[in-house]
Structure 1
Amino acid sequence: MSHAAQAIEPRSSSQTAQEHWPFTVRQATPAIGAYVGDIDLREPLDEPTYLALRRALIRYKVLFFRDQDLTPAQHVALGKRFGKLEVHPVLPRHPDHPELVVFDKSDQKRGRENIFHSDVSWREVPSMGSILRCVECPPTGGDTIWVNMALAYEKLPGDIKARLEGLLAVHDLLPLFGAALSPEQRVSVRAQNPAVTHPVVRTHPESGEKLLFVNEAFTTHFANYAEIAGYRFGFDLKLAEMDLLQYLFRQAAAPEYQVRLKWEANTVAFWDNRSTHHYAVQDYYPAVRRMMRATIIGDRPV
């Protein structure tokens, strides 16, 4: 039996207390997110707490923890409890812990993460989850939004779901990250990170949920649209493909599928990249916003 299958599924704050969870859970919105309390992430997670957190993550899709003054080493150790960590090929990394991406924004460097995305969906084996800690927050602004992509798929009209059956999408890191690279760096990054193809609708390996798995940051086009949709005219085919892809992108913008977090220093967010998109709101310039992220390697989408 998998770790996820062994854990108990939380249902509400009152039931959580009755079931003797090793932490408290307060649901953030009806669609997604929960605040987790009475836990110290600096300490190694024992097996019952690890299993409970993993199951809570699957259910709520993003977990929020306040007042977690993690050192970089503790941050890495927490991430490794859930799986192997990746090293990002482009984003700045912590000098002593390359598994930690550092987002260091100020009046010298604007943020550019204001687009709905799933971290590293452009990998052949994308991320299982990400753990982000706020080191220094702006006095106001700089929130992050997460989206429940299982709900986004569930609420699609039936005829759209039918059109997505068997459809594959291409994910690529260069359209977003390439502008910050030199021509030589682009060649090197491309050689090590070719564009990949994933199902438009994937199945969550632990919950069994169907998930809409395209995002406007990294998904460039469908790989087999003509094969699935049938051919009429070249322009007609391409416009229909673009319309469908843009329609799918827009699902993430529905407030009914979202939760929004106001960061505080030492707040940690842990989210499931398989079942969510997120968007970092860039409304705080020129204030400082410094974050660190560990990203856990996942599984090949099916």
Structure 2
Amino acid sequence: MTDILSSAPPTGSRRTSIDVEPLTCTIGAELRGVSLADAARDDDLFAEIKGLLLRYKVLFLRDQDLSRADHVAFASRFGPLEDHPVAGSDPDHPGLVRIYKDLDSPPEHYENALHTDGTWRVNPSMGAVLRCVESPPVGGDTIWVNMAEAYRRLPDHVKARIEGLRARHSIEATFGAVMPKEQRHALKERFPDAEHPVVRTHPETDEKILFVNAFATHFVNYHTPENVRFGQDYAPGASHLLTYLISQAAIPEYQVRWRWTPNSVAIWDNRSTQHYAVQDYWPAVRKMERAGIVGDRPF
């Protein structure tokens, strides 16, 4: 299948009834002249937005008059919503997770790392719809990364080296790390480490995607005669390779950065992106609400 972004319309052009403005050459577009509350109830409008999401990987909208019920209804058009085992969800709107950072949040607690949501699940998230409730006067941006582009631009010898590799992804080693041992072990029992291909195929676009992130702990099938002559090749050799692959998400040419305002919304395809919430705004307040969508098993 051809590269979807290569056929993107030029900046400011009008391909459909929605005003679409690409934000970078590789990822992201801002949509204007559309209401997500309407899209939650309009099949044609939703289909148009979904097509744009597959093209641009993350979509942004401002000034959305979106109730929590509308938020959940729109996100549910993509598929069933998922709870988060640590963050929980709104009791009146299952699947709507409140991500509130306020003065009660310790300033030394880290906000984020470059990641793909839920790769510690057997079925990682398909995507998410994130609404800004309250934003800092400055700071608190979010960055998204095109991991199909990251794979496409890997050197050929690296592509050959990682073909067929698989990696473990862990909630215990990330969210569980700050928990007491018993609680951490209970979390892992509920969500055993998941195993995913290092390069997955997007089920709708056929793009190859570099699919390792901050949740990935190690390769599970690296220790073979082809890769390992001496112990040094495996440890730290495999770790160095994994670190190199994870670091690709930090390349600015694959990124788009969004400044939040109240009632702005981001919709992203979690299968082909990573993201990072920038922690530069304390003691200002940042309140977000996210509806995550259940995904498929990567292949």
Secondary structure class of the residue paired with 2:126: strand
Q: Distance between the aligned counterparts of 2:143 and 2:175, measured in 1?
A: 21
Q: Structure 1 residues 70 and 228, CA, compared in 2 at 3 Å: closer, same or farther?
A: farther
2:172–2:185 Cα contact (<8 Å) kept: no
- The residue number in structure 1 matching 2:147 is 149
Q: Distance between the aligned counterparts of 2:224 and 2:145, measured in 1?
A: 30
Q: Which runs of 5+ in 2 are unaligned?
A: none
1:22–1:49 Cα contact (<8 Å) kept: no
State the shift of 1:14 in Å. Answer: 6.4
Pairwise mapping of residues 95-110 of structure 1 onto structure 2 (< 5 A)? Answer: 95-110=91-106
Secondary structure class of the residue paired with 1:226: coil
- The residue number in structure 1 matching 2:48 is 52
Pairwise mapping of residues 1-302 of structure 1 onto structure 2 (< 5 A)? Answer: 11-12=7-8, 19=15, 21-43=16-38, 44-110=40-106, 112-216=110-214, 218-227=215-224, 229-302=226-299
1:9–1:52 Cα contact (<8 Å) kept: no
Q: Structure 1 residues 291 and 228, CA, compared in 2 at 3 Å: closer, same or farther?
A: farther
Q: Structure 1 residues 191 and 267, CA, compared in 2 at 3 Å: closer, same or farther?
A: same
The 10-residue stretch of structure 1 (72-81 or 206-215) with the greater mean CA deviation from structure 2: 72-81
Secondary structure class of the residue paired with 1:31: coil
Secondary structure class of the residue paired with 1:190: helix
Secondary structure class of the residue paired with 2:236: helix
Q: Structure 1 residues 245 and 153, CA, compared in 2 at 3 Å: closer, same or farther?
A: same
1:12–1:26 Cα contact (<8 Å) kept: no
Q: Distance between the aligned counterparts of 1:73 and 1:62, measured in 2?
A: 22
Q: Distance between the aligned counterparts of 2:8 and 2:244, measured in 1?
A: 33
Q: Which runs of 5+ in 1 are unaligned?
A: none
Amino acid at match of 1:190: K
* TM-score normalized by the length of structure 2: 0.92
1:133–1:269 Cα contact (<8 Å) kept: yes
1:163–1:229 Cα contact (<8 Å) kept: no
Q: Distance between the aligned counterparts of 2:6 and 2:211, measured in 1?
A: 25
State the shift of 1:124 in Å. Answer: 0.3
Q: Distance between the aligned counterparts of 1:232 and 1:9, measured in 2?
A: 41
The 10-residue stretch of structure 1 (220-229 or 262-271) with the greater mean CA deviation from structure 2: 220-229
C-alpha RMSD of matched pairs (Å): 2.1
State the shift of 1:93 in Å. Answer: 2.1
Q: Distance between the aligned counterparts of 1:62 and 1:134, measured in 2?
A: 15
Q: How many residues align?
A: 294
Deviation track 1:201-237 (CA, whole Å, cap 9, x = no partner) reads 0000000000000002x10000111137432222331
Q: Distance between the aligned counterparts of 1:286 and 1:176, measured in 2?
A: 24
State the shift of 1:181 in Å. Answer: 3.0
Amino acid at match of 2:174: L
Q: Distance between the aligned counterparts of 1:285 and 1:179, measured in 2?
A: 23
Q: Distance between the aligned counterparts of 2:162 and 2:238, measured in 1?
A: 11
State the shift of 1:70 in Å. Answer: 1.4
* TM-score normalized by the length of structure 1: 0.92
1:64–1:269 Cα contact (<8 Å) kept: yes
State the shift of 1:15 in Å. Answer: 9.5
2:5–2:56 Cα contact (<8 Å) kept: no
Q: Distance between the aligned counterparts of 2:106 and 2:61, measured in 1?
A: 26
Q: Distance between the aligned counterparts of 1:82 and 1:261, measured in 2?
A: 23
1:88–1:101 Cα contact (<8 Å) kept: yes
The 10-residue stretch of structure 1 (193-202 or 51-60) with the greater mean CA deviation from structure 2: 51-60
Q: Structure 1 residues 110 and 153, CA, compared in 2 at 3 Å: closer, same or farther?
A: farther
State the shift of 1:17 in Å. Answer: 6.0
